Structure 1
Amino acid sequence: METGEIRPEGDTVQATTRTPGPTGLPLIGSMLDLTRDPLAAYLAAHREHGDVVRFTAGPPGLRVEFYMVFSPEGAQQVLATRAADFRKDNTMYEEVRLSLGNGLLTAQDADYQRQRRLVQPLFTKRRVDGYADAIAQESAALVERWTAVPGGVVDAAEEMSGFALRAVARILFGTDVEEAIGAVRRSFPVLGAYVRDRGFAPVRIPRQWPTPGNREAQAAERELYAVCDAIIARRAGQDSDDLLGLLAAARGEDGERLDPSELRDQVLIFLLAGHETTATSLAFALHLLGKHPAEQKRAREEALAVLGDRPPQADDLAALPYTTAVLKEAMRLFPAAAVIGRRAVADSEIGGVRIPAGADVLVSPYVTHRHPGHWEEPERFDPERFTPEREAGRHRYAWFPFGGGPRACIGQHFSMLESVLALAAVLREFEVETVDTEVPLGQAITLEARGPVRIRLTRR
């Protein structure tokens, strides 16, 4: 998961030449468009102004300014080839850090390098494949619950969020999963909204002020931290094969380890990023398949041929190429990280446009995944885009739902394993029909459905 944000114009260095971009309304610029529907505003700006666009929004004195980069080449420059010039120093990352700790998502420099060294061995393919049994058990519980739903109609967004959270919490906490689930489900929505609102606000009220919003967020933080700290303390000195136990046992070459507060930071980030990406992908994959019966039939036939009547397992991932392509196409159209934010720390040039040091720079998988120069009929659902041959012929950053470069998501394989196995398990048991054919979208910390994503399930 990645985040984007904008900040007051006075904090940025102005470009010497005017970058193409929407002018918006007098005095407030693009503020209304960005408030009402930021994703539509980004798409329109790309269509009308090209691959590098400058936005300004808000009244004088509270105006914000940022640059959007929409081409795969530009995204590669920001995230990979010139990554050192574009850092995670923006306001949104600061707010995530203050609420959910300084884990892998938000850490910088030596802190990040140290954490990555300790955590990376726990996310090898072999390690992650070991979590397949937990994924299969949670998938079976989901199928059983859906079988009993009156009328067979469920909100895929809500259901997949619960499923993905239970799966990642089970993998993290093992037998302590129930203790953690309740606190997470109560606290995360509060903290997510709090971080989002503060990350996009041109003026931020100090967190210490006793406002209702601050008090509610502080209470959520206390509950979440207390549960995680209690589980970590109880596990001290114990051997366990869940992810928390492996994190606690991790040692660097010189014996370095994560202390209890660092363990909590990693756990909180894994809970956040580890369920939102998977939940979004699964919810919209079901939404899309419910509108495209031929593609759904093909994915079901593949699931039946590979799984039969047994639970899914890690080796099945390679045998489910079409189901994988369905998930990738869902992530193309509905990437959980709709926008990825950075702050330029050196003068740069992207697509012939000068980006000054100090400027906020956002790349957008949501827009780049619809770039007409790289995707034919970009709004059409077509899993065949992700055959090996077509993937090989496409720019590496035409599709980047997990980010890229040195800060690419460490949990990519875990997310794909969980998503593909769970989708196959569901399609084996149910036929899916989309109820809400159009779903309004919004941009918070991650892509969000601003309305139900209902599907009708028919048990086969």
Structure 2
Amino acid sequence: MAVDAKAEAGGEIPLLAGAPVVGSLFDLKGDTLATYLRAQRQHGDVVRISVGPPGLRAELHCLFSAEGAQQVLAGQSANFRKDNPFYQEIRDSFGNGLLTSQDEDYLRQRRLIQPLFTKRRVDGYARAVAAETASVITAWQGAADGVVDVSDEMTHFALRAVARILFGTDVEAAVDVVARCVPVLTDYVLRRGYSPVNIPRTWPTPNNRRAAAALDELYGVCDEIIAVRRRTADSGEGGEGEDLLSLLAGARSSDDGEFDASELRDQVLIFLLAGHETTATSLCFALHLLARHPEQQRRAREEITRVLGDRTPEAADMDRLPYLTQVLKEAMRLYPAAPVIGRNAVAAFESGGYTIPAGASVILAPWVTHRHPDYWADPERFDPDRFTPEAEAARPRYAWFPFGGGPRACIGQHFSMLESVIALAMILRAYEFEAVDTSVPVSTGITLLTQGPTRCRVRSLEG
């Protein structure tokens, strides 16, 4: 049960016990998610965590309740900024795109991009998702011993799907470079984002040189595709492209102008990063959980067969597959792709009976809130029926927030759900799953990361 730790506003916020000199530094480095979960279980919904030695110490103010999440992301969102070192490292590596930009930059970008993510526009990508899923299904026919690592496979699938939607026919030129370079940059961002002191990026250390080479290669392939696309558009040879890059290149308004080449690249890189890692995580764990729970797998497959028969799923089928959608939402509850969210408070504010000071580093943790015993009975149990319409209506809005919320909610959440439901429907219709690895350790990166294989034995149901 959660500890009742509320106090009069201005009272001392409980502090998670740590080591005498470095506080909880090694706890967070060793197992970030377990440390946040322990903080909530021991001290309640508002907890301080001290990190680092004196003189370099950071103090994290953690809000674990649904009400705290709603306050930061929606109700008082203007008071919270992405000013922490971690977001700055993402900006420096992946550009100032929609995920990382702020203030007028963000508002301008959002206004230009929002028309490209209407439901009608996103629904038009269903055919591309289905085609990429069909390739996965065919490839698994030759799996050695019938075993596939769903983490690797879904990462590859989601990258190809988002690259195909971004670049259209230029997908092959980008996939290999992104698959090779993004992990190098992600590891670099994590090392620097969580370090109390960093040397300049320009110093020729092995890590700096490796990251710079990966960044140059990633920038190069994106710049080349963008330049070719603009030349063909200007000459009229490319026709009216419907891939997302063509739409981004054509996005303009009288008030906001249009994206220049470097701004286009920033948006493309952020979409590649956020658009494939998050969906891959959700699909990986949906399949892994179903592989460990045969009754729920059977129920999902029965719904798919009843609704789809042998036909390829379409965007309209999302509403016809409620149980499959519940499976996906429950997987995202247990394994949220963004398990930790950071903000900086501009002004002091009150939350949960405490006063958090101006300038505080504020932490929200979907990983913890999604396991909060006040909202979720037996929270570690996999139960898709938690997401029936009646059950969802009975919970606070921010008891579940895998896509964030408020003015900065993920612009691609409908696309992620569409892609995931279509892919799950086709894969579960084609294969039966049995877990080989019954336990999969995870850690925090820019998104949730698996630590080791996530293998399933697949048995073909086709033919």
Mapping for residues 59-138 of structure 1, pairs under 5 Å = 59-138=53-132
Partners of 2:50 and 2:150 lie apart in 1 by: 36
Looking at structure 1, the residues matched to 142 and 303 of structure 2 have their Cα atoms a distance apart, in angstroms, of: 25
Runs of 4+ displaced beyond 6 Å: none
Task: Give the letter for the 2:53 counterpart.
Answer: P
Secondary structure at the residue paired with 2:61? strand
**Number of the residue aligned with 1:375:** 376
The amino acid of 2:345's aligned partner reads A
2:115 paired with 1:139 = no
Structure 1 Cα separation of the partners of residues 94 and 21 of structure 2: 36
- Equivalent pairs, count: 446
Distance 1:88 1:164 in 2: 27
User: Which residue matches 1:357?
Assistant: 358
Instruction: Give the C-alpha shift of residue 16 in structure 1.
Output: 6.9
Distance 1:61 1:255 in 2: 44
1:226 to 2:220 alignment: yes
Note if contact 2:442-2:448 (Cα within 8 Å) is conserved in structure 1.
yes
Q: Give ranges in structure 1 of 5+ residues lacking alignment.
A: 1-14
Q: 1:229-277: per-residue Cα shift (whole Å, max 9, x none)? A: 0010101124311000011111114471111111111000000000111
* 1:302-381 to 2 correspondences below 5 Å: 302-381=303-382
Distance 1:419 1:146 in 2: 18
Inter-CA distance 33–255: structure 2 relative to 1 (3 Å threshold): closer
1:254-307 Cα deviation digits (max 9, x unpaired) = 471111111111000000000111100000001100111000000011111122
Partner of 1:193: 187
Match of 1:7 in 2: none
Partners of 2:178 and 2:51 in 1: CA distance: 35
Using the TM superposition, give the Cα deviation of residue 17 of structure 1 relative to its aligned residue in structure 2, in angstroms.
4.9
Which residue in the other structure is 1:10 paired with? none
* Equivalent runs, 1:6-45 vs 2, <5 Å: 17-45=11-39
TM-score, length of structure 1 as denominator length: 0.95
SS in 1 for 2:358: coil
How big is each residue's C-alpha offset from its partner over 1:90-132, in whole Å with a ceiling of 9 and x where there is no partner? 1111111111110000111111111000000000000000000
Bigger CA drift: 203-212 or 17-26? 17-26
Deviation, structure 1 residue 58: 2.2
SS at match of 1:21: coil
Structure-2 separation of matches of 1:361 and 1:247: 33
Q: 1:155, CA displacement in angstroms?
A: 1.0
SS in 1 for 2:252: coil
- Structure 2 counterpart of 1:9: none
1:252 corresponds to 2:246: no
Q: Aligned to 2:253, what secondary structure does the other structure show?
A: coil
- What's the CA shift for 1:59? 2.2
| Cα distance between partner residues in 2 of 1:115 and 1:321 | 33
Q: Is the 8 A contact 2:325 2:421 kept in 1?
A: yes
Distance 2:309 2:317 in 1: 11
Q: Secondary structure at the match of 1:290?
A: helix
- Where do 1:151-300 residues align within 5 Å? 151-236=145-230, 237=234, 238=238, 239-254=240-255, 256-300=257-301
CA-based RMSD? 1.1
1:419 aligns with 2:420: yes
Question: The residue matched to 2:258 in structure 1 has which SS?
Answer: coil
Q: Distance in 1 between matches of 2:442 and 2:171?
A: 31
SS of alignment partner, residue 457 of structure 2: strand
Q: CA deviation at 1:447?
A: 0.9
Q: What is the CA-CA distance between 1:34 and the residue it aligns to?
A: 1.1
